[in-house]
Structure 1
Amino acid sequence: MTTVAAAPVELDVSDPPHFPALDALRAVGALAVLVTHVAFWSGDYGRHGYAGTLLSRLDVGVAIFFVLSGFLLSRPYLARAAQTLPPPSTRSYLWRRFLRITPVYVVAALLALALLDDNADLGAPTWATTLLLGNTFVDPLPPAGLTHMWSLAVEVCFYLLLPLLMLAATGRRGRGLSTARVVTVLVAMTAVTAWWHLHGADWADTWTGGAPGQWLPGYLSWFAAGIGLALVHVLATRGSATARRLLAPGRQAGACWTLAGALLLVAATPLAGPTVLVAPTTAESLTKNLLYTAIGVLLVLPALVADERSGFGRAFGHPLARRLGVVSYSLFAFHLLVLHAVMAVTGWQVFSANGPLLLLASLAGSLVLAEVGYRVLEVPAMRLKRLVPPRRAEPIVATTATSGTTER
Structure 2
Amino acid sequence: MTTVAAAPVELDAGTAPRFPALDAMRAIGALAVLTTHVAFWSGDYGRHGFWGVTLARLDVGVALFFVLSGFLLSRPYLARSAAALPRPSTRAYLWRRFLRIVPVYVVTVVVALAFIDENSHLGAREWLTTLTMTNTFVDALPPGGLSHMWSLAVEVSFYLVLPLLMLLAAGRRGLRPARVGLVLAGMTAVTVWWHLQGSDWAEEWTGGAPAQWLPGYLTWFAAGIGLALTHVLAVRGAPHARRVLSVGRQPGACWAIAAALLLVASTPLAGPALLIAPTTAESLTKNLLYTAVGLLVVLPAVVADDRGAFARVLGHPAARRLGLTSYSLFALHLPVLHLVMWLTGWQLFGGHGVLLWLITLAGSLVVAELGYRLLEVPAMRLKRLVPAGREEPTAATTAASGTTAR
Percent pairwise identity: 73
SS at match of 1:348: coil
139 and 394 in structure 1: CA distance in 2 versus 1, 3 angstrom threshold? closer
Q: Describe how 1:111-122 pairs up with structure 2 within 5 A.
A: 111-122=111-122
Match of 1:217 in 2: 215
Specify the code of the residue in structure 2 equivalent to 1:66: F
Distance 1:65 1:8 in 2: 35
- Answer yes or no: is 1:137 the counterpart of 2:137: yes
Partners of 1:15 and 1:97 in 2: CA distance: 19
CA shift, 1:9, in A, is: 5.7
Which ranges of structure 1 fall in alignment gaps of 5 or more residues?
A: 1-6, 396-404
Alignment of 1:6-405 (within 5 A): 10=10, 13=13, 15-172=15-172, 175-393=173-391
2: CA distance between counterparts of 1:43 and 1:9?
58
Q: Secondary structure at the match of 2:148?
A: helix
Q: What amino acid does structure 1 have at the position aligned with 2:356?
A: L
Tell me, yes or no, if the aligned pair for 1:14 and 1:391 is still in contact at 8 Å. no
> Are the counterparts in 2 of residues 27 and 325 from structure 1 also a CA contact under 8 Å?
yes
The Cα shift of 1:43 comes to: 0.1
Displacement after TM superposition at 1:96 (Å): 0.2
Q: Separation in 2 of the partners of 1:254 and 1:32?
A: 19
CA contact (8 A) 1:136 1:150 kept: yes
Separation in 2 of the partners of 1:10 and 1:378? Answer: 33
How far 1:310 moved relative to its partner? 1.3
- Over the aligned positions, Cα root-mean-square deviation in angstroms equals 1.4
Call closer, same or farther: CA 1:119–1:13 in 2, change over 3 Å: same
Q: Is the 8 A contact 1:14 1:76 kept in 2?
A: no
Deviation string 1:12-44 (CA, Å, 9 cap, x unpaired) is 636311100000010000000000000000000
Instruction: Report the residue type matching 2:380 in the other structure.
Output: M
State the 1:391 CA deviation.
Answer: 2.7
Q: Is the 8 A contact 2:88 2:392 kept in 1?
A: no
Separation (CA, whole Å) in 1 of partners of 2:278 and 2:232? 38
Query: Is the contact made by 2:23 and 2:320 (CA closer than 8 Å) also made in structure 1?
Result: yes
Distance 1:8 1:322, change over 3 A: farther
CA–CA distance in 2 between the matches of 1:303 and 1:197? 30
- Using the TM superposition, give the Cα deviation of residue 11 of structure 1 relative to its aligned residue in structure 2, in angstroms: 5.2
Corresponding residue pairs, total: 388
> Separation in 1 of the partners of 2:11 and 2:111?
43
TM-score by length of 1: 0.93
Distance 1:8 1:251 in 2: 28
TM-score, length basis structure 2? 0.94
1:243 Cα deviation after fit? 0.4
Q: Is this contact kept in 2: 1:136–1:142, CA < 8 A?
A: yes
Cα separation, 2, equivalents of 1:351 and 1:324: 29
Structure 1 residues 123-132 or 14-23, which shifts more? 14-23
Residues 139-172 of structure 1: CA deviation (Å, up to 9, x unaligned): 0111101110000000000000000000000112
| Residues 321/191 of structure 1: CA separation in 2 closer, same or farther (3 Å cut) | same
Per-residue CA deviations over 1:183-234 (Å, capped at 9, x if unaligned) read 0000000000000000000000111000000000000000000000000000
Q: Aligned equivalents of 1:72 and 1:96: distance in 2?
A: 14
Measure, in 2, the Cα distance between the counterparts of 1:88 and 1:308: 29
Residue type matched to 1:383 in 2?
R
- Gaps of at least 5 residues in structure 2 are 1-6, 394-402
Q: Greater shift after overlay, 11-20 or 268-277?
A: 11-20
Provide the rounded CA distance (Å) in 2 between the counterparts of 1:48 and 1:393: 55
- The Cα shift of 1:250 comes to 0.1
Amino acid at match of 1:221: T
Query: By how many angstroms is 1:353 displaced?
Result: 2.9
Aligned mates of 2:249, 2:30 — CA distance in 1:
24
Q: 1:12–1:394: 8 Å Cα contact kept in structure 2?
A: no
Provide the C-alpha distance between the structure 2 equivalents of 1:236 and 1:55, rounded to a whole number of angstroms. 36
